[in-house]
Amino acid sequence: MTGLLPIKKFLKEWVPSLLVAVVVSFTFNTYVAQGMRVPTGSMLPTIQLQDQIMVEKLVRFTDFQFGDIVVFYPPLPGHEEERYVKRLIGLPGDTIEIKDGSLYRNGEKVDEPYIREKMTYTFGPLKVPEDKYFFLGDNRNDSLDAHLWPTPFVDKSKIIGKAMFRYYPLTEIGPLK
């Protein structure tokens, strides 16, 4: 019977702490922030293939800004459960057009120092509907993004969160811009 005493003591002392840790971890991961490995090169040169980034999920309850790097579920048949990482290009009400290798937002040319190279395609003009967003990768000519999707807009309900910073590789830790 004495062999059971250490087990009972262990269970009494550690199980409540472990349960609290599991609940806190699950809640944090589900509602606050989550790590993610980037599986493609669609955001080169900003985010490298296989980089690990932290995604803040609380931001989905606030307003997004042009240029934010966002994680979402795409409106792409066969890919609806995948998480995509792209740059926010068009907010609700914006008119987006790509011509002559440049992005135009509401008729004005946008300076985009983060893109890998000028675009080799044309797109639009299209107006972003209410509660929808328009996303493109920084590696525009090699990115499966809104300019190729049958429905180019992402519903607000499909947004997971904002990519805040890279935490791996360790030599590249820092905020994403």
Q: Name the residues annotated as catalytic.
A: 42, 86
Dist. CA 5–CA 55, nearest whole Å? 44
Residues sharing a CB contact under 8 Å with residue 107, sequence separation 6 or more, in sequence order: 95
Cα 172 from Cα 40, distance rounded (Å): 17
Q: Which of 43, 57, 66, 91 is nearest to 161 (CA)?
A: 57
| Amino acid present at 152 | P
58-81 burial, b for 16+ CB within 10 Å, e for fewer?
Answer: ebbeeebeeebbbbbbbbbeeeee
